[in-house]
Amino acid sequence: MAFPLCKHGWCEKIKTRMMILLVLFVFTRGHHVLFSRHDQCFASLERPAILLLGCDRPSATTRAVQSLASLEAFGHFELYVSVDQCEKHRDVFKVLAPYVARNVVASVWLHERPPIQGLAVRQKIAIHYEFALRSVFDHRHNHTHVIVVEDDMIFAPDFLRLFLETGWLLDADPTVFCISSWNDNGFPRFAQDPNVLRRTDYFPGLGWMIRREAWQSELREKWPGRSRPNHVGIGWDYWIRMPSQMQGRDCVFPEFSRNRNLGDDGANVGAKQFNEQLRRIALSSSKEAIFRPGLLLSPLYQQRIARDLHKSDWVDVSMVRKLNSFTARTSHSEFGRPSEGCPSLELSKPSLAAFRGFLQT
């Protein structure tokens, strides 16, 4: 005998609601469950690698390698170091030799600078990046996902776990361009929860991961490197932030940064800017953060943003202008990164039309 409720279509309604609940569970909790253990995360990233770029800072390079090698999930990655042809590049090779011998570093490459006169420092760096990315994605090792870092960084305990647990988003969501471990607005008063992940359409850099397809089908042929040394007069990271590269996509980043930049003599940042900005970014010390990357999938994330907007209070634009560094924030700081005065604001995509590239989502 048929169940009485089925006569009125209740069975189908119940089935539909159960399926909705199941999908929501998989997206909001299931992905965390499925991708919380390192071995399961690794299965979602077929051949991940870490690419560390350096030049003439042997002690900094050693510190960065030691910091990476100390991380719990380090065994899931191969570490490559690409060294630009600088004054002290031989010293860098020398300090790395013991790490190569112990298989901590898989390989060290020397990038021989092209004989092109008059290149700016940023152009030289972009050419080195092209060499390193081609090496790890194309010529030598054909890795599927690569985390890119530099020699003046140290890393939070769960730096690699962040990428292991979120890397699948690059394959599952076409609106996600990269995963980053860096929050431009991650000052102590804004970074409150080590579990929180967000999306931004402003490429963060300073510790980021893309997949091989993004390099081979999009970036490789137009990279402002050896074949196009004068393509742009800005740095490679500024170039990536252009709409022609981002194409309306976002990067996933944590509220608490998972790496810290220790270099105060970079191509884009001097000592003054470093002390005022980058030095003050909070570094997470959490070892047991619970990431829920399923919530970053585009439909769910947009729904959450819309829900938060509906619950928000309306404010007059004059109140926004009262933020301490509103002018500096909308014009960017001298080296292209947001100032501390404006918190990370969560806005829906339509709301970003007038602020694209300035406010983080």
State the catalytic residues: 237
Burial of residue 298 (number of CB atoms within 10 Å: 0-12, 13-18, 19+): middle
CA-to-CA dists, residue 341 to 29, 44, 51, 320, angstroms: 34, 38, 33, 11
The answer to whether the CB of 352 falls within 8 A of the CB of 361 is yes
The answer to whether the CB of 108 falls within 8 A of the CB of 100 is yes
The answer to whether the CB of 65 falls within 8 A of the CB of 53 is no
Q: Which of 150, 85, 82, 81 is nearest to 113 (CA)?
A: 85
Q: Which of 133, 135, 139, 149 is nearest to 219 (CA)?
A: 133
Give the three-class secondary structure for 78: strand
- Count how many Cα atoms sit within 13 Å of the Cα of residue 191 in the half-sphere of its side chain: 22
What is the C-alpha separation between 180 and 31, in angstroms, rounded? 19
Backbone φ and ψ for 82, nearest 5 degrees, come out as -110, 125
| Residue 208 DSSP one-character state | E
Q: Which of 45, 349, 359 is nearest to 210 (CA)?
A: 45
What is the C-alpha separation between 361 and 348, in angstroms, rounded? 7
